[in-house]
Each structure stands twice: as C-alpha cells, then as structure tokens.
Amino acid sequence: MKALRLAVLALARDAKSGELGVLLLALLVAVSALTAVGFFTSRVSRAVDQQAGEVLAADLRLQSPNPIDREYFQEAAAAGLKTAELATFPSVVLIGEESALTAIRAVSEGYPLRGRVKVAAAPFQPGYEVDSIPGPREAWPEARLLAQLGAKVGDRLSIGNIELTVTRVLDYRPDQGSAFVDLAPTMLMRLEDLPATGLIQPGSRVSYAALFAGEVTAIAALKQQLAARKKPSERLVDLQEASRQERLSNHLKSDDFFSVEKFPEAKLAITGSKPGKGGQIEVTGNLTIKGITKLVTFPATIKNQGNGLEAEGTITVDRILYDIKYRSKSVLDPSALADRLIYDEFTLEFKLTASK
C-alpha cells in the first residue's frame, strides 16, 4: 500500500510539473502516427488491388486456347459472383477496297467486371465512360483503325461473313495488354455475333477468357476449385499476377523496348516468296519496328484445310537492329549482368487461316 501511495504522489507531482502532459502528448503523437501509417498502407493496398483488377477487368481470370467449360460460369454464379467472357484473335477488317489488321475482342454482357470502357463520338475526340458493350451487329473500333481504313462512325465494316456498323470509337479498355495481338488496333464487338462471322475454324488462333468478380472469400474459394480442375492448357491469373503483368507491360511499352507512345505500330510487308526446303515456302519481307525497317526472311508452311488455307511459321528478330538494346550483351559487359542478360533475338510465331 505504501508503494502504491508513493506512486500516486509521484504521478500527481509529474502532472503538476507538466512532465506527464509531455509524456501523454508523445504517446498521442506516436499512436496517431501509427494509425495514420496503417490507414495510408490500407488505402494504398486497396488502390493497388483496384488497379490490378482493372488490368484483368475482373478479380480472377481464366485463360484458355479453347472455349471455356460452361460449368465454371454456373459454379461462379451459384457462389454469388459476377461473370463475363471474351474471345480475342487477330483478323482483317475491310471497307470497300481498304483493309487493315486488327485485334478483335468479342465480349459478353457485363464486360468489364472491373474498370470502365471509354468511347468517343468520333475519332480523336474526348472519351467518356460507358457501362455497356456494342449492340447486335455493331462495332467499336479504335481511332487508329478507322484512320487506316479511311472510315468514320456510321460506316459498315466487313469482318468474315458479316458487316458491323461503327457506332462509337473505342478510346480505352481496362485490360489493355502487351501481347503481340494488342500491337494492332482493337475492335470491340459482341460475343453473340462471333459465330456468324465464320472466322473461327479449326486451327484458328483464338484466346478465350472467363472473368469473375465478387467477394474476396468467394473469389479465393473459386480460385482453389478452378486450380484443382482446370486443364493443362488453361491458366489462372489473379490480382497479384496482374500487378506483375502490368509492370511488365509498361516496361515493354517504354523507351527501353518498343517506345509504343512514339511508334504505336509495327509492320510486316511481304515482298516475295520462293520454294524452300522440306516443302516449305521461303518468304521475304520488310519488318518495321520503332520506325526502323529491315529485310527479313523466314520459312512458312501452307496447308489446305477444308474450305480454306492455313499458313504458319516463325520469324526470328534481332532486336539490336531495331535499337532495342536494354540489357543486351552486345552493348554491355556480360560478366557484369550475369543472369540478368536478355537475349538479343526473339521469335514471332504466327498462324493464319483464310476461308474461301
């Protein structure tokens, strides 16, 4: 009791002298600082997750070279999750005598589940957000595709066996990527219109994706189920991987690599061909990357496939010729970079189908 009495007296003395107030103020500042840091960290974490979700246009994405099993969508809906799907492939669109290569993105209702699509009323006008997708037999091409074709809003573009009316200009979509197909201008259309085009044939290079979004626990449970059941050719992408993909995408677009802002297009102009070895065709052309054009020669195989033709091959590119020197052994000391070196050559694989 005596010790407690002395402690109370000491506390009262410190309070009168002001020392206790200073101590309490210091504790208050410390607690406030920790709370602010925790709050800031939480906000940044949520912002990063939101940005990653926009990169996926979803919270979870299942990618496949084949149509997605419908049971996946049924299980997600039963768990209270939102779903959407899309198919992506390169193709040629035409208007009159003009044609251009484009990255077709056929999407279902609900796309995107995270983020918003932006469109414009005319090419190179300010964009605005929408919460819908193109209507039946409508298309939303990017402005640079319309510029290549000399087309405008209201025109009809031919794709495969059908025509689509341009009703808006695509300005932005959340899941813009760095894949080779994304180097071509994008055209958005409805997934329901895709079968009528007749473009999806055996051997077509189509990438399918299922999108899922919802509560964190439900997404985690679905991810676990899909990871156990998915086919070897299918790939799951979550928010964490999306963040890594976005960093890679931004780096590839930077001046270290392809300088996409300055040089948004790469072109291959075929100039000739002749018989090659083993029944292949030796193709010659001019490849332009970053405004630099070089002659390339590569083998290709052409086959008859039912009512059409199929051509496939591989182009080997020396990036140094196109002023892409980041971490190259040709300009830096290999011993200094060790395993951080990046090969000077990369390959572009292609597979094209043409219907009669």
At 284-298, the pLDDT tens digits run 888 898 999 999 888
The CATH number of the domain holding residue 323 is 2.40.128.110
Same-domain check for residues 91 and 220: yes
Question: What's the chain's length in residues?
Answer: 356
- Is a pLDDT exceeding 80 seen at residue 109? yes
**Are 312 and 351 spatial neighbours (Cβ–Cβ below 8 Å)?**
yes
Same-domain check for residues 85 and 217: yes
Answer whether residue 283 is part of any domain. Answer: yes
State the residue range of the domain holding 111: 57-253
Distance CA 324, CA 256 (A): 7
| Residue 269 pLDDT level (bands cut at 50, 70, 90) | confident
Half-sphere exposure at residue 230, Cβ-oriented, CA atoms within 13 angstroms: 22
Same-domain check for residues 132 and 205: yes
Same-domain check for residues 187 and 321: no
Q: Which two tokens stand for residue 9?
A: 């007296």
pLDDT in tens, 7-33: 555 545 554 554 544 444 444 444 443
The 3-state DSSP composition of the chain as helix, strand, coil percent (nearest 5) reads: 35, 35, 30
Average pLDDT over residues 333-340: 57
Task: Indicate if the alpha-carbon torsion angle 279, 285, 288, 293 is positive or negative.
Answer: positive
pTM for the full predicted model: 0.62
**Are 74 and 81 spatial neighbours (Cβ–Cβ below 8 Å)?**
no
Residue written as tokens 């390959």? 347
Same-domain check for residues 46 and 129: no
Of 253, 285, 310, the last residue of a domain is: 253
* Maximal CA-CA distance, the chain: 107
Nearest to 211 by CA among 348, 10, 31, 59: 59
Same-domain check for residues 183 and 152: yes
| Residue 62 pLDDT level (bands cut at 50, 70, 90) | very high
Answer whether residue 261 is part of any domain. Answer: no
Tell me, what's the pLDDT at 117?
A: 94
| Residue 212 pLDDT level (bands cut at 50, 70, 90) | very high
Answer whether residue 259 is part of any domain. Answer: no
- How many domains does the chain fold into? 3
Average pLDDT over residues 348-355: 70
Same-domain check for residues 203 and 229: yes
CA angle 239, 241, 245 (to 5 degrees): 110
Same-domain check for residues 42 and 180: no
Answer whether residue 207 is part of any domain. Answer: yes
- Is a pLDDT exceeding 70 seen at residue 79? yes
Distance CA 87, CA 208 (A): 4
Average pLDDT over residues 167-195: 83
Average pLDDT over residues 142-169: 95
Q: Which two tokens stand for residue 15?
A: 């309070």
Answer whether residue 144 is part of any domain. Answer: yes
**DSSP bridge partners of 140:** 188
Tell me, what's the pLDDT at 28?
A: 44
Same-domain check for residues 46 and 132: no
Q: Which two tokens stand for residue 349?
A: 């694989």
Task: Calculate the average pLDDT of the chain.
Answer: 80
Average pLDDT over residues 74-82: 95
Same-domain check for residues 157 and 301: no
- Is a pLDDT exceeding 50 seen at residue 202? yes
Answer whether residue 260 is part of any domain. Answer: no
Neighbouring residues of 295: CB distance < 8 A, sequence distance ≥ 6: 284, 285, 286, 287
Answer whether residue 262 is part of any domain. Answer: no
55-69, 107-121, 151-165: which range is least confident on average?
55-69
Tell me, what's the pLDDT at 42?
A: 37
Distance CA 51, CA 62 (A): 18
Answer whether residue 28 is part of any domain. Answer: yes
3-state secondary structure of 354: strand
Distance CA 203, CA 306 (A): 11
Of 54, 70, 95, the last residue of a domain is: 54
Same-domain check for residues 20 and 78: no
Tell me, what's the pLDDT at 245?
A: 55
Same-domain check for residues 124 and 238: yes
Half-sphere exposure at residue 348, Cβ-oriented, CA atoms within 13 angstroms: 17
Of 211, 229, 253, the last residue of a domain is: 253
Tell me, what's the pLDDT at 213?
A: 94
